[in-house]
Amino acid sequence: MLDSFINSFIDNYDLYLESLGETAAMVVYSLFFSTIIGLFLGVCLVVLRPNHIYANKVLYPVLNAVINVLRSVPFIIILIAIIPITKWIVHTTIGVKGAIVPLVFYTAPYIARLIESALLEVNPGVIEAFQAMGASRRQIIWKVLLKEARPGIVLGLTIATIGLIGATAMAGVLGAGGLGDVAIRYGYQRWQPDVMYVCVIILILLVQLMQTAGNQISKKLRKH
């Protein structure tokens, strides 16, 4: 069986390399935009909650409900439901470009919750101490919340990245490209199980690499 995997990898090397590049492109671009949106939403979820620095009894429950709704929708449904929005933004619904928009819609609310969880771990006493020293609310966000929560944020983004890798594989079912597309087209439709297994192994290695890197970065930040 090992010989079969090796031969499959050698025979289809260019195919695997191209699909790995497409998966990487989807993950990098989607993670970039999702992190920006998710970071903003996560901070808002924390500072707008009752008894916090920007407490708002109207905006907080609305934002909380919207994020809950978005998180409850499976990715495959988002992929199909926002086709008009995807086409309007990137002018296509297939390939890597066509997958980025739904991936952002799917990942950003998830990252927002992870950011919220990391920020809520910051000791309230530290915030109160900075307030007593006259720090502005903006300074509290940048120099206290985000700075103190960096290890948790890194671990949260690591989890989000791993979930994003899985979502790119699912997007491949609808022609987004990447390893998921290769696994479906060759491994299932053409019944070449060796190709599918190699794609699975590559995905597993990617996940392990991301998790190890995230753990190491978080560990270094905790030491500092």
**Which domains are assigned to the chain?**
2-223 (1.10.3720.10)
Residue 42 · residue 119 · CB < 8 Å: yes
Using the predicted structure, report yes or no on whether residue 64 has a pLDDT greater than 60: yes
Q: Which residue has 């998966």 as its token pair?
A: 23
State the pLDDT confidence band at 39, using cuts at 50, 70 and 90.
very high
Segment 171-220, tens digit of pLDDT? 877 777 788 888 777 776 677 777 888 888 888 899 999 999 999 998 88
Q: How far apart are CA 22 and CA 177, in angstroms?
A: 6
Query: 219 or 5, which is more confident?
Result: 219
Question: So what's the pLDDT on residue 107?
Answer: 95
- Sorted by sequence, the CB contacts under 8 Å of residue 69 that are 6+ apart come out as none
With beta carbons less than 8 A apart as the criterion, state whether 119 and 144 touch.
no
Q: Rounded to 5 degrees, what are φ and ψ at 11?
A: -65, -30
Classify residue 111 as exposed, middle or buried by CB count within 10 Å of its CB (0-12, 13-18, 19+): buried
- pLDDT at 201 (0 to 100): 86
| Main-chain phi, psi angles of 56, to 5 degrees | -145, 115
Residue type, 123: N
pLDDT for res 209: 92
Residue-averaged pLDDT of the chain: 87
Sign, Cα dihedral of 151, 155, 161, 167: negative
